[in-house]
Structure 1
Amino acid sequence: MNFNSRRKTYNLVLLAIAFGIVSLILWNTNSFFKKFKEEERLKMEIWATAQSELLQSSENMDLGNLTIKVLQNNSSSPMILENKDGSIRVNNMPNKKIEDSLYIRKKIIQFQNENIPISIDQQGEHLATLYYGNSDVLNKLKYYPIALLLIIILFGAVIFFFFKTNKASEQNKLWAGMAKETAHQIGTPLSSLLGWNELLKMENINQDITQEIEKDIARLETITERFSKIGSLPTLKEADIVKETREAYEYLRRRSSKLIHFSFIPKVDSLPVLINSSLYNWTIENLVKNGIDAMKGKGSIAIEIVQNGKNVHILIADTGTGISKNNFQTIFNPGVTSKKRGWGLGLSLVKRIVEEYHNGKIKVLSSGKEGTIMQISLKVKST
């Protein structure tokens, strides 16, 4: 049995135990409710017997101290005593309502639904009928199982959230570990490439070739640095957002298909922003590559930079197929992708870089048949 199978079995056992405990508590509560209701019924029958003696005392006998005590001590259950002559006597109910005959009749119907009325008879003669309702304690006890279930549901939700958060944390650690290991593995061949490029220079190879190799080696170094920073808090430094965006734009423009028309439209000359250059460039590249994929390698990509008060907005527009409005938020979730071979991590990483590392915002500004506009918003550094 593998680890996942054991863990699944363990969770099922815990669920079964929890279900058993809840069932036992509810069963005990229900039994206690019935027992308490039976005791209240017995108490009311004793009161009815004492009331019968009271009704007959003036004619046949003196009223004993025990009877008086029984009649006086019942102060918990609301009661309506209807004598054979139709007169009504009310106990343990609001005084303001006693004179309201409509209210009394409604209460009689309610008490009949809660408890079977007790007929007070003496020597075969019907003297009165006792209607009584549940006491406050019994009414509160009736809602106890519901309150218990709500508490259990709330507790279960907290446990579920805890395990879900814990699982997400484990996944983040796993991805961070894989990223750092990837950066470490890239480091070895990268060092060799640097050495081979130096040898090529010594062989008087065309300088244009060696210079392009140097650019790609520098690119690999940048990628290695990015992967090594995943899972750790990056250092933010003041940089010109226009210059940084232009560098990412130029790199992609030179290496993209000629069928893609690129345009860079900065509405400001320069703006100081606290960023991590490596991660910011990665963000721009991810968004541009997503746009190129959405256009299936043919169309237009435009990057625009505008200032709005204390914020700067970087807009990346493409002429691709667009995104459904229902997916404006979900596309940033891990695993969500429209590509057949995609992992759905690009936009998730972009969101994390922008919002968690740079305290900015990223969103789908608009999308339709004419294309999609993604917007990154960052704070301009105050001078």
Structure 2
Amino acid sequence: MNFSPKRKTSNITMLIAAFVIVSLILWNTNSFFKKFKEEERLKMEIWATAQLELIQSSIDQELGNLTLKVLGNNTSTPMILMNEEGSYKTHNISEDKVTDSIYIRKKIEQFKSENEPIQIIQEDELLETLYYGNSEVLNKLKYYPLALLLIIFLFGAVIFFFFRTNRASEQNKLWAGMAKETAHQIGTPLTSLLGWNELLKSEDINPEVTQEIAKDIDRLQTITERFSKIGSIPELREHDIVAETKKAYEYLKQRSSKLVHFSFSSNMEEAYVLMNPPLYNWSIENLVKNGIDAMKGKGNIAIQIEKKGQNIHILVSDTGHGIPKSDFQNIFNPGVTSKQRGWGLGLSLVKRIVEEYHKGKIKVFSSSKEGTIMQISLRAIEK
């Protein structure tokens, strides 16, 4: 897909703007987080001072009430207050964990990693050490940038897939319109050819000539019908897939080079599936022609039909150069081709006919330097 320089510049500008906006949001969030953490530190230092005042002023009842009020205001920050003897008190920690010494030690290590402990000292004597962790609000704020990035990513992904789907839909409508217009344009000269062929039949001409012309005219009518069906929902009816495949096989065999050797086999006389014959035959022809191109016009083409369970498998094999395993899925994408001349629409069209219209499956069954086998699978109708 080619983009104009103007569009490239626009895309780069949008990417830079998005990067700048995200960077500013993250920087602002980080600054707010640091500021909030400093406020919590200050609150803990005030609480430690109140704890010291409580120790010093046990006689002064009025000061004690004020101190207790300060101490009681903290209801969110988890804390562990430990003295020199190893005795401890907890605040805002689950009561069922208070007596678990192992849990308390782990919590102290966690708090030390989150915040520097505050020592409560009186006259150069260490009385207690306050270990405190991040409050619930601060923990939530810590993960806010990740949540914000996830939201931005999801929003961007929704926009991307919306425009991608919209663009694909427009391209499909364009191709369908072109196909229908092609079918319409072919119709006029095709009608003229029918008239000229009838005129030739009245002349003294070898009947085999007019018969072959009639076959090619029928072929053109089939091609016109195929193109007219693109973009429309085809009508599916019960048909013998063995007979329809053999019909496509015979046509291709007669009109291919003598250097290409064809073979056809089936493990059943007939098998019925829901299909649209013109579109199905088009798929077989595309697979065979791809195989002939891969063999550079010389080699073996084999078509095999077999039934396994409730599915009918149609295997089209060639003796070409093979397909790399990494490209097994890519070859069905529009525009992917190994030919110097070609639009890479053949296999993409086959996939659409088989999977979207006939509700079947198509895949690369196997491929190596000795050749490739393509497999179409359709649901059988039990008689």
Identical counterparts, % of pairs: 73
**Does the C-alpha gap of structure 1 residues 212 and 34 become closer, same or farther in structure 2, counting only changes over 3 Å?**
same
Question: 2:283 touches 2:350 (CA, 8 Å); kept in 1?
Answer: yes
Residue 205 of structure 2 aligns to which amino acid in structure 1?
I
* 2:143 aligned with 1:143: yes
Question: Separation in 2 of the partners of 1:3 and 1:315?
Answer: 40
Question: Separation in 1 of the partners of 2:49 and 2:211?
Answer: 110
Residue 19 of structure 1 aligns to which amino acid in structure 2?
F
* 2:325 aligned with 1:325: yes
Question: Separation in 2 of the partners of 1:89 and 1:274?
Answer: 78
Question: Separation in 1 of the partners of 2:125 and 2:52?
Answer: 11
Question: Separation in 2 of the partners of 1:227 and 1:117?
Answer: 79
Q: For 1:243-262, what aligned pairs fall within 5 Å after superposition?
A: 243-262=243-262
* 2:368 aligned with 1:368: yes
Q: For 1:114-133, what aligned pairs fall within 5 Å after superposition?
A: 114-122=114-122, 126-133=126-133
Aligned residue number for residue 153 of structure 1: 153
Residue 154 of structure 1 aligns to which amino acid in structure 2?
L
Secondary structure of 1:27 counterpart: helix
Aligned residue number for residue 206 of structure 1: 206
Q: 1:260: Cα distance to partner?
A: 1.5
Aligned residue number for residue 344 of structure 1: 344
Question: Separation in 2 of the partners of 1:375 and 1:21?
Answer: 50
**Does the C-alpha gap of structure 1 residues 297 and 372 become closer, same or farther in structure 2, counting only changes over 3 Å?**
same
Question: Separation in 1 of the partners of 2:319 and 2:74?
Answer: 82
Secondary structure of 2:116 counterpart: coil
Q: 1:9: Cα distance to partner?
A: 5.0
Question: Separation in 2 of the partners of 1:303 and 1:117?
Answer: 80
Question: Separation in 1 of the partners of 2:226 and 2:164?
Answer: 27
Residue 253 of structure 1 aligns to which amino acid in structure 2?
K
Q: What do the CA deviations read for 1:159-203 (whole angstroms, capped 9, x no partner)?
A: 222222222222212211221122122222222222322332333
Question: Separation in 2 of the partners of 1:197 and 1:319?
Answer: 39
How many residues align? The count is 382
Aligned residue number for residue 227 of structure 1: 227
Q: 1:248: Cα distance to partner?
A: 0.7
**Does the C-alpha gap of structure 1 residues 238 and 68 become closer, same or farther in structure 2, counting only changes over 3 Å?**
same
**Does the C-alpha gap of structure 1 residues 228 and 92 become closer, same or farther in structure 2, counting only changes over 3 Å?**
same
**Does the C-alpha gap of structure 1 residues 307 and 115 become closer, same or farther in structure 2, counting only changes over 3 Å?**
closer
Question: Separation in 1 of the partners of 2:315 and 2:127?
Answer: 89
Q: For 1:62-73, what aligned pairs fall within 5 Å after superposition?
A: 63-73=63-73
Q: 1:4: Cα distance to partner?
A: 5.2
* 2:175 aligned with 1:175: yes
Secondary structure of 1:256 counterpart: coil
Aligned residue number for residue 166 of structure 1: 166
Aligned residue number for residue 54 of structure 1: 54
Question: Separation in 2 of the partners of 1:57 and 1:24?
Answer: 49
Question: Separation in 2 of the partners of 1:271 and 1:206?
Answer: 39
Q: 1:361: Cα distance to partner?
A: 1.2
Q: Which runs of 5+ in 1 are unaligned?
A: none
Residue 370 of structure 1 aligns to which amino acid in structure 2?
E
Aligned residue number for residue 195 of structure 1: 195
Q: TM-score, normalised by structure 1?
A: 0.90
Question: Separation in 1 of the partners of 2:197 and 2:370?
Answer: 45
Aligned residue number for residue 288 of structure 1: 288
Residue 184 of structure 1 aligns to which amino acid in structure 2?
H
Q: 1:338: Cα distance to partner?
A: 1.6
Question: Separation in 2 of the partners of 1:105 and 1:274?
Answer: 72
Q: 1:63: Cα distance to partner?
A: 3.4
**Does the C-alpha gap of structure 1 residues 125 and 351 become closer, same or farther in structure 2, counting only changes over 3 Å?**
same
Residue 251 of structure 1 aligns to which amino acid in structure 2?
Y
Secondary structure of 1:239 counterpart: strand
Q: TM-score, normalised by structure 2?
A: 0.90
Question: Separation in 2 of the partners of 1:286 and 1:86?
Answer: 83
Aligned residue number for residue 358 of structure 1: 358
Question: Separation in 1 of the partners of 2:243 and 2:135?
Answer: 78
Q: 1:59: Cα distance to partner?
A: 5.8
Residue 213 of structure 2 aligns to which amino acid in structure 1?
I
Question: 2:335 touches 2:344 (CA, 8 Å); kept in 1?
Answer: yes
Residue 235 of structure 1 aligns to which amino acid in structure 2?
E
Q: What do the CA deviations read for 1:147-169 (whole angstroms, capped 9, x no partner)?
A: 22122222222222222222222
What's the Cα RMSD here? 2.5
Residue 196 of structure 2 aligns to which amino acid in structure 1?
W
**Does the C-alpha gap of structure 1 residues 156 and 45 become closer, same or farther in structure 2, counting only changes over 3 Å?**
same
**Does the C-alpha gap of structure 1 residues 263 and 124 become closer, same or farther in structure 2, counting only changes over 3 Å?**
closer
Q: 1:7: Cα distance to partner?
A: 4.9
Bigger drift between 228-237 and 80-89 goes to 80-89
Secondary structure of 2:58 counterpart: helix
Residue 89 of structure 1 aligns to which amino acid in structure 2?
K
Aligned residue number for residue 40 of structure 1: 40
